[in-house]
Chains A and B, each alone.
Chain A
Amino acid sequence: MSTTMTDNAIAQTRQVLPEHCLDFAAGAAILGTGGGGDPHIGMLMAQAALEKHGPVDLVKLEDVPDDAVVIPVAMMGAPTVMVEKLASAEQFVESIRAIAKYLGVEPTHIACMEAGGVNSMIPMAAAAELGLPLIDADGMGRAFPELQMVLATLFDVQAAPMSISDEKGNSIVLETVSNKWAERLARTATVEMGCSTIVSLYAMTGEQVKRAFVPGTLSLCRELGKCISYARHHAGSAKDSVIERLGAVQIAEGKISDVERRTTSGFARGRAELATDRGIVEIEFQNENLLVRRGDEVVATTPDLIIGLDTDTGEAVTTEQLRFGTRISLIVAPADERWHSEGGIELAGPRYFGYDTEPVRPAEFSA
Chain B
Amino acid sequence: MRIGIDVGGTNTDAVALEGTNVLASVKQTTSEDVTTGIVQALHSLRTQHEFGPTDVDAIMLGTTHFINALVEGRDLAPTATLRLGLPATASLPPMVGWPQRLISATRGRYFLAHGGHEFDGQEISSLQPDEIRAFAHDMEAAGVRSVAISSVFSPINDEFEEHAAEILREELGPGVALSLSHEIGRVGLLERENATIINASLRELADKIIGRLVAVIDAEGYSCPLFLSQNDGTLMDVEYARKYPVATFASGPTNSMRGAAITSGLETCAVIDIGGTTSDVGVLTNGFPREATTVIDVAGVRTNFRMPDVLSMGIGGGSIVADGQVGPSSVGYRLTSEALVFGGSTLTATDIAVAAGLVDLGDASAVAHLDRDMVMAMVDQIAGRVADTVERMRTSSAPLPVVAVGGGSVILPKVLPGLGEIYLPENSGVANAIGAAIAQVSGEVDKVYSLATRDRSSVVEEAKADAIEKAIAAGASADNVEVVEFDEFPIPYLPGNATRIRVKAVGDLGIKEMAR
Q: Tell me if B118 and A78 are in contact (CB < 8 A).
A: no
| A47 smallest CB distance to B (angstroms) | 8
Contact flag A325-B393 (CB < 8 Å), given A80-B494, A191-B495, A267-B493 = yes
| A188 smallest CB distance to B (angstroms) | 9
Q: Tell me if B89 and A83 are in contact (CB < 8 A).
A: no
| A259 smallest CB distance to B (angstroms) | 9
Residue in contact with B492 in the complex, picked from A79, A87, A257, A324, CB distance below 8 Å: A79
**Residues in B361-396 with C-beta less than 8 Å from chain A:** 391-396
Scoring B residues 58 to 87 as 1 if CB is less than 8 Å from chain A, else 0, what string do you get? 000000000000000000000000000111
Q: Tell me if B87 and A168 are in contact (CB < 8 A).
A: yes
**Residues in B478-516 with C-beta less than 8 Å from chain A:** 490-498
Find the residue from A80, A84, A85 having the highest chain B CB count within 10 A: A84
**Residues in A66-101 with C-beta less than 8 Å from chain B:** 77-81, 83-91
Q: Tell me if A287 and B87 are in contact (CB < 8 A).
A: no
Contact flag A266-B90 (CB < 8 Å), given A44-B96, A44-B97, A84-B153 = no
Give the number of A-B contacts (CB < 8 Å): 133
At the interface, yes or no: B298 with Cβ under 8 Å from chain A? no
| Complex interface: chain A residues within 8 A of B87 (CB) | 88-90, 167-169
Q: Tell me if B92 and A86 are in contact (CB < 8 A).
A: yes
| Complex interface: chain A residues within 8 A of B490 (CB) | 261-263, 268
Complex: how many Å from CA A41 to CA B491? 18
Q: Tell me if B190 and A44 are in contact (CB < 8 A).
A: yes
Residue in contact with A78 in the complex, picked from B116, B394, B493, CB distance below 8 Å: B493
At the interface, yes or no: A255 with Cβ under 8 Å from chain B? yes
Q: Tell me if A48 and B92 are in contact (CB < 8 A).
A: yes
| A191 smallest CB distance to B (angstroms) | 6
| Complex interface: chain A residues within 8 A of B124 (CB) | 85, 167-168, 194
Number of interface residues of A (CB under 8 A): 43
| Complex interface: chain B residues within 8 A of A324 (CB) | 394-397
At the interface, yes or no: B224 with Cβ under 8 Å from chain A? no
| B415 smallest CB distance to A (angstroms) | 20
Contact flag A86-B392 (CB < 8 Å), given A48-B96, A268-B492 = no
| Complex interface: chain B residues within 8 A of A262 (CB) | 490
Complex: how many Å from CA A205 to CA B498? 40
**Residues in A249-285 with C-beta less than 8 Å from chain B:** 255, 257, 261-263, 265-268
At the interface, yes or no: A361 with Cβ under 8 Å from chain B? no
Residue in contact with A85 in the complex, picked from B152, B395, B491, B495, CB distance below 8 Å: B152
Complex: how many Å from CA A324 to CA B395? 5
Complex: how many Å from CA A17 to CA B516? 57
Residue in contact with B125 in the complex, picked from A168, A267, A268, CB distance below 8 Å: A168
Q: Which residue of B lies closest to A319 (CB)?
A: B492
Complex: how many Å from CA A265 to CA B188? 22
- Given A86-B85, A320-B492, output 12 extra A-B contacts at Cβ < 8 Å: A45-B92, A80-B187, A86-B92, A87-B90, A87-B92, A88-B86, A167-B124, A168-B87, A191-B495, A263-B490, A267-B493, A324-B394
B interface with A by C-beta (< 8 Å): 85-93, 96-97, 116, 118-119, 122, 124-125, 152-153, 187-190, 294, 391-397, 448, 490-498
Of the A-B pairs whose beta carbons lie under 8 Å apart in the complex, a sample of 11, sorted by A's number, is A44-B96, A44-B190, A80-B187, A83-B187, A85-B118, A168-B87, A168-B125, A194-B119, A261-B490, A266-B492, A287-B493
The 6 closest A-B pairs by CB, nearest first: A268-B492, A263-B490, A78-B493, A89-B90, A167-B88, A86-B89
